[in-house]
Amino acid sequence: MKKNNIILTGFMGAGKGTLARQLQSRLNTLAIDTDDLVESFTNQSIKSIFESRGESSFRELEQKVVDWIIASVDNTIISTGGGMPIFAGRFEQMGRVYFLKADFDWIYNRLKNSPNAEKKFKKRPLFNDRSTAEKLMNERLPLYEQKADIVFDLSTHSEKEIIEQIISDHAAFVSHSK
Task: Give the C-alpha separation, 67 to 70, whole Å.
Answer: 5
CB of 114 to ligand S3P, least distance (A): 12
Return d(Cα 48, Cα 105) in angstroms, integer: 27
The β-bridge relationship of strands 31-33 and 5-9 is unpaired
Give the nearer residue to ligand S3P in terms of CB position, either 90 or 122.
Answer: 122
10 vs 81: CA distance, rounded Å: 8
Which is nearer to ligand S3P, 19 or 46 (by Cβ)? 46
Which listed range, 19-27, 91-99, 122-130, 162-170, lies at the site for ligand S3P (CB under 6 A)? 122-130
Smaller CB separation from ligand S3P, 58 or 96: 58
Distance CA 152, CA 155 (A): 9
How many residues interact with ligand S3P (rule CB under 6 A)?
Answer: 9
User: Residues in the site for ligand S3P, rule: CB under 6 A?
Assistant: 12, 35, 46, 81-83, 124-126
